[in-house]
Amino acid sequence: MCSRFSLAEERDLLAARLGVSAMSLAHYRPRYNIAPRQEHFIVTTVYENRKLTRARWGLLTIPRNQDRDHYSINARAETVESRPAFTEAFSHKRCVIPASGFYEWAGPSSARQPYWIHRRDGNLLLFAGLYANEDADDDGVPASFTILTCVANPALATIHDRMPVILSDRDAED
């Protein structure tokens, strides 16, 4: 399960890599420990143009009129299509979440060892995600997102049984 990630690229390189203007990243700052319920941004498309949207990590999956809000930071790719909490987002609100890397921990609870998982070539990881538009929250953030996860590949399976769905450039474009 992905519960922390980083995005610490230089602004102009990040804009070029994502295919957006540097102005759209005016409020961007490198971050090495992005946690659930913190603000980040997602990449969507509008008429085949990429758009950055401020969003909070944790898709609201129980309506606000319930006793308490429930946020899903991750959604299993194998079941997301059939889970009522994700039906609308899966059908119409897919996004890409850019990251430099993500963290996983291994070992006994008394001595957890963190691992930072990243690309050897230093390029971005592009996580598959779902988002939802909500009324702006107290900080004015109008959207929330969740990261899709899948069974870990053999290299990561020794650390954790799940990992983010990482998209190729072509898949991210689609």
Active-site residue list: 2, 104
Between CA 35 and CA 30 the distance in angstroms is 14
Q: Which residue has the tokens 């540097």?
A: 22
Residues 153-163: b if buried by 16+ CB within 10 A, e if exposed: eeebeebbebb
Residue pair 144/57 in contact (Cβ under 8 Å)? The answer is yes
List the one residue out of 154, 10, 37, 34 whose CA is nearest residue 103. Answer: 34
* Contacts of 118 by beta carbon, 8 Å cutoff, 6+ apart: 100, 101, 102, 125
Residue pair 126/97 in contact (Cβ under 8 Å)? The answer is yes
Q: In terms of residues, how long is the chain? A: 174
